Amino acid sequence: MSQDKPQQALETRILQIGVGRDERTGAISYPIYPSATYRHPAVGESTGFDYTRSGNPTRQILEEGLATLEGGARGLTFGSGMAALTTLFLHFSSGDHVVVSEDLYGGTYRVLDQVFAKFGLSATYVDTSQTAAVAAAITPQTKALLVETPGNPLLGIADLQTLGELCRSRGLLFLVDNTFLTPLLQRPLEFGADVVIHSATKYLGGHSDLCAGVLVAREAALGERLYFLQNSTGAILPPQDCWLLIRSLKTLSLRMERHCATAIKVARWLKSHPKVTAVYYPGLEDHPGHQLSKQQTRGFGGMLSFRVESDELARAVLKKLQLISFAESLGGVESLMTLPAVQTHGDVPPAERERLGICESLLRLSVGIEAVDDIIADLEQALE
Amino acid sequence: MKKPSYRTATLLVHQGKDRDPATGASVVPIYPASTYHHPGGVSGEYDYSRSGNPSREQVEEAIALLEGGVRGFAYATGMAAVGSALALLKSGDHLIAPEDLYGGSWRYISTVLPQQGIEASFVDTTDLSAIEAAIRPNTRGIFLETPSNPLFKITDLAAVAQLARAKGLLTLLDNTFMTPLLQKPLQLGIDVVIHSGTKFLGGHSDLMAGLITTADVELGKRLKYFQNAFGAVLSPFDCFLLSRGIKTLKLRLEAAQANAQILAERLQQHPAVAQVYYPGLEGFIGRKRHFAQASGAGAILSFELKELSGIKPLLQTVKLPIIAPSLGGVETILTHCWSMSHAAIPAATKRQLGIRETLVRISAGIEDVEDLWEDLAAGLGG
């Protein structure tokens, strides 16, 4: 019971994270260790834990569990998704260049554009669903490719296999933000990704009640380097939230199954609505990334976006929602809707937003686990 | 937020108040405050946390909504809830209780209540005439469990409620095994519903909690009075955690129930197994009665080994289930009732009730059922 058994189903292994690992008591739920520091047995001796920024038993259980889920050598957890990304970007040096998905979370754009640009890390944004466009953006200074797939908010699908091969042949680090799908639906390390990034605030946490970020490195050496940065800069996840995230993972497979099952029904319903002009969901047969999604994922996830007739209607919908919350974030058990142009992607320059199609008639929906009929009924009355 | 007629899956996620009115926060805040400011010496909605706490109100409202009660109450443990519900009785009263009953409840009713001058008779509550025969002039209440723990005896709730009403008796039911998702006793006429929130409602084996709800306004007032007077309330942090567990109840229970059904069917075919107790099995005694009042068989089952010598190897061989008292977690829990959940009951009484040393209870978790079966089959040998 105490050690991970790769022959067991991933669903079973998730439930074993931390179970019975407390040797003194056999406690089923692993303890929360709030201790900041640890008593040394003698000079030069350590229990394995010295100081909580450097290592904490509760965090260690979580980080090992996450590494298992993604199939990587090392997992690291941070105080937010952005803290995870920032720590990852600190791996690069002044003068380096990264190629990044243009259909991407606005916060990632903001930290690259307004923080890391000042430190001499430059970025080029491309449509990563077009492998040729990625190849064309590579310069001699390029050190990495950062991909979000499905993209945010337009749900474009990047070809992980091809991009992995491209990165390998050009000597680039391949970084994949797996927040939208989680390792249960997509395991980028199997396609050659070097690091997987998560905002665990979303599906991994799943209850809209914690902020956390994750990095999982495929190779131990890169994991060690990222651990060095985690320990040096210290944006760690506190023990209480580590415990809450372990708890969250226990229902991840059930939640993801339900998110997927409900999202496809909502997507189909929206598609048939006369005031909805477009629906972006990879599970729809006419989505340009549908076939590719089927090849590289075990499900299409719970995120979708849709366009309505006018900007005014989009605002009216947000105002009239009763069950669905008008809120940023995603991946919770409760359905959340946002206006990406104003909220999640407000820091992307207007011209760039316009070019990408993130206009004010576009709504993004994180489909929750409520009864699907209630979700659709709320959308129906809001679109009236 | 006003609650229109939302379906259960939606109610579970949104519960009572699903947004903090001040900030719009998607989760009700944890209020650790023990007391509340009285501006100008005037009390507001809240005075003192034992009497009322917004985090606790969230779960109290949730259980009332789910069970169809008028108000709910949250306690530190399931036994604190049982004890608080039984405080509706007074010295000189007599209580009828089932003979097949959770060991902790049995202990409370058979040892603590008599100290308070309350006598109890343990009867087979599946037999209406046995209940009727046990009624005395001073009988005030009937305590029930269905399915019973650990032998899955099924009591006809509507019939007992009707009898109780005719005789002016209070009915109290421990609905822990079923949860309001599968069985709604208030709709069948039961007066007070009790839960160990530690089990399926919490669902992660990481908190202790008890809940009570009633559809009767007057009983609600008396329960509130005693909750405040006695003070075995649930802490604000555990209220948050319980509310969080309830959000995924439907997903967890449906998955666990599907696993239990498969395990029960396979155990029944296993040569080392003498008998399986699970209402989901065709031909199980009480199956028809159970499904007349519940929408599912639940996620718990018991089985009897043919040989006592098989118990030790089973408990030593299985690796996946937690071997422990308790149930209702995402992890499968295996209980040797004789020495764990029902240890409080004297050996002779257990034997008389049919709780043998060869009996094992399984609370199915949400793991992959093939992993569970392989592990269990290895433990059973052959």
Chain A within 8 Å of B330 (Cβ-Cβ)?
yes
Rounded to the nearest integer, the mean pLDDT of chain A is: 94
- Answer for the pair B158, B142: CB distance below 8 angstroms, yes or no: no
Looking at the partner chain, which of B2, B206, B366 has a beta carbon nearest the beta carbon of A247? Answer: B206
pLDDT at A1: 40
Q: Write down the mean pLDDT value for chain B.
A: 94
Find chain A residues with C-beta within 8 A of B9's C-beta: 369-371, 374
The predicted model gives B206-211 an average pLDDT of 96
**Do B368 and A371 count as a contact with CB atoms less than 8 A apart?**
no
| 8 Å CB contact between A78 and A84 | yes
Does any CB of chain A come closer than 8 Å to the CB of residue B3? no
| B365 touching A (Cβ < 8 Å) | yes
Band (pLDDT 50/70/90 cuts) for residue B24 is confident
Sign of torsion, CA A191 A83 A76 B247? negative
Q: Residue B158: CB partners within 8 Å, gap ≥ 6?
A: B188, B189, B293
CB contact under 8 A, A327 and B252: no
Q: Which of B247, B330, B365 sits opposite A333 (nearest CB)?
A: B247
Q: Is residue B354 over pLDDT 60?
A: yes
The verdict on B247 touching A (C-beta cutoff 8 Å) is: yes
- Across the interface, whether the CB atoms of B371 and A9 are under 8 A apart is answered yes
Contact A327 B24 (CB under 8 A): yes
Residues A104-139 pLDDT 10s: 888 999 999 999 999 999 999 999 999 999 999 999
Per-residue burial over A124-149, b if 16 or more Cβ lie within 10 Å, else e, is bbbbbbebeebbebbeeebbbbbbbb
Estimate the share of chain B in helix, then strand, then coil, as percent rounded to the nearest 5: 40, 15, 45
Is B8 in the A-facing interface, judged by CB distances under 8 Å? yes
Shortest distance between the Cα of B259 and any Cα of chain A, in A, equals: 12
Chain A residues within an 8 Å CB radius of B367 = 9, 11-12, 15
The answer to whether the CB atoms of A334 and B14 lie below 8 A apart is yes
Closest CA to A308 of A316, A298, A296, A300: A316
Q: What is the bridge-based pairing of β-strands B273-277 and B94-98?
A: unpaired
Q: How many helices (H) and strands (E) does chain A have?
A: 14, 12
Residue A44 has pLDDT above 70, yes or no: yes
Residue keyed to tokens 């029944």? B268
Tell me what the mean pLDDT of segment A212-231 comes to: 97
User: What does the pLDDT read at residue A180?
Assistant: 97
Q: How confident is the model at residue B4, as a pLDDT?
A: 58
Q: Which residues in chain B have Cβ-Cβ distances shorter than 8 Å to A333? A: 13, 247-248
- CA quadruple A76, A77, A78, A82: dihedral, nearest 10: 80
> For chain A, what percent of residues have pLDDT higher than 70?
99
State how far the Cα of B3 lies from the Cα of A322, in Å rounded to an integer. Answer: 10
Task: For residue B119, name the pLDDT band (cuts at 50, 70, 90).
Answer: very high
Determine the pLDDT at residue A121.
Answer: 97
**What confidence tier does B121 reach under pLDDT thresholds 50, 70, 90?**
very high
- The per-residue pLDDT for B2 is 44
Given this model, what pLDDT does residue B326 score? 87
Residues B59-72 have a mean pLDDT of 96
Angle at B289 (CA atoms; ends B286, B291), nearest 5 degrees: 105
Chain A CB contacts of B7 below 8 Å: 370-371, 373-374
DSSP-derived 3-state class of residue B167: helix
- Cα–Cα distance, B203 to A216 (Å, whole number): 28
Q: Which of A19, A28, A324 to mutate to test binding with chain B, by most B CBs within 10 Å of its CB?
A: A28
Residue A19 has pLDDT above 80, yes or no: yes
Report percent pLDDT > 90 for chain B.
Answer: 84
Residues 6+ apart with CB under 8 A from B274: B303, B304, B305, B306, B358
Task: Please tell me which residue of chain B has the smallest CA distance to A250.
Answer: B330
Task: With beta carbons under 8 A apart, name residues in chain B contacting A374.
Answer: 6-7, 9-10
Nearest to A162 by CA among A186, A129, A185, A187: A129
Range with lowest mean pLDDT among A159-168, A304-313, B35-44: B35-44
- The alpha-carbon gap from B73 to the nearest alpha carbon of chain A, in Å, equals 24
Please tell me the distance in Å from B188's CA to the nearest CA on chain A: 25
Q: What is the pLDDT of residue B325?
A: 85
Q: What is the mean pLDDT of residues B34-53?
A: 87
Task: Confirm if A309 and A275 have CB atoms less than 8 A apart.
Answer: yes
Residue A109 backbone dihedrals phi, psi, to 5 degrees: -60, -45
Cβ contact B13–A333 (<8 Å): yes
Please tell me what DSSP assigns to residue A118: G
Residue that wins the pLDDT comparison between B341 and A101: A101
Active site residue B174: yes
B197 pLDDT exceeds 70?
yes
Lowest mean pLDDT segment, chosen from A96-110, A264-278, A361-375, B173-187: A96-110
Residue A2, pLDDT above cutoff 60: no
B317 touches chain A (CB under 8 A): no
Assess whether pLDDT exceeds 60 at residue B3.
no
CB pairs under 8 A between A and B: 110
Q: Which of residues B68 and B324 earns the better pLDDT score?
A: B68
Q: Is B313 exposed, middle or buried (0-12, 13-18, 19+ CB in 10 A)?
A: middle
Q: Which amino acid appears at position B235 of this protein?
A: S
Give per-residue pLDDT as tens, A299-330: 999 999 999 999 999 999 999 999 999 998 89
User: Of these residues, B102, B108, B277, B278, which one is catalytic?
Assistant: B102
pLDDT the model gives residue B20: 79
CA–CA min distance A237, chain B (Å): 19
C-alpha closest to that of A30 among A250, A253, A331, A251:
A250
Task: Determine the pLDDT at residue A3.
Answer: 58
Q: What is the pLDDT of residues A196-215, one digit of tens each?
A: 999 999 999 999 999 999 99
Total residues found in chain A within this entry: 384
Does the annotation count B50 as an active-site position?
Answer: yes
For B27, the closest chain A residue by CA position comes to: A209
pTM, two decimals, is 0.89
- Give the gap in angstroms from C-alpha B20 to the nearest C-alpha of chain A: 12
CA B289 to chain centre: 19
What is the model's pLDDT at position A181? 98
DSSP letter (8 states) at residue B111: I
- In this prediction, residue B1 carries a pLDDT of 38
Tell me whether residue B224 is one of the annotated catalytic residues.
no
Active-site residue, A53 included? yes
- Contact flag A15-B324 (C-beta cutoff 8 Å): no
Which residues lie across from B121 on neighbouring strands?
B96
State mean pLDDT over A168-172: 97
Give the CA angle between residues B12, B17, B20 to the nearest 5°. Answer: 130
What confidence category does residue B176 fall into, taking pLDDT thresholds of 50, 70 and 90? very high
Q: Find chain A residues with C-beta within 8 A of B247's C-beta.
A: 207, 333, 369
Contact list, B240 vs chain A (CB under 8 Å): 209
Q: Please, are residues A188 and A163 in contact by the beta-carbon 8 Å criterion?
A: no
Pinpoint the alpha helices (H) of chain B: 8-14, 54-67, 78-86, 103-107, 113-115, 128-134, 157-167, 179-182, 217-230, 236-247, 249-269, 287-293, 311-317, 347-353, 369-380
Q: Which of B2, B14, B253 to mutate to test the interface with A (most CBs of A within 10 A)?
A: B14
d(CA B305, CA B285): 19
Q: Report the gap between the CA of A75 and the closest CA in chain B (Å).
A: 23
Helix or strand (DSSP H, E) at A305: strand A303-308
Confidence check: pLDDT of A4 > 80 = no
As separate numbers, helices (DSSP H) first and strands (DSSP E) second, chain B gives 15, 12
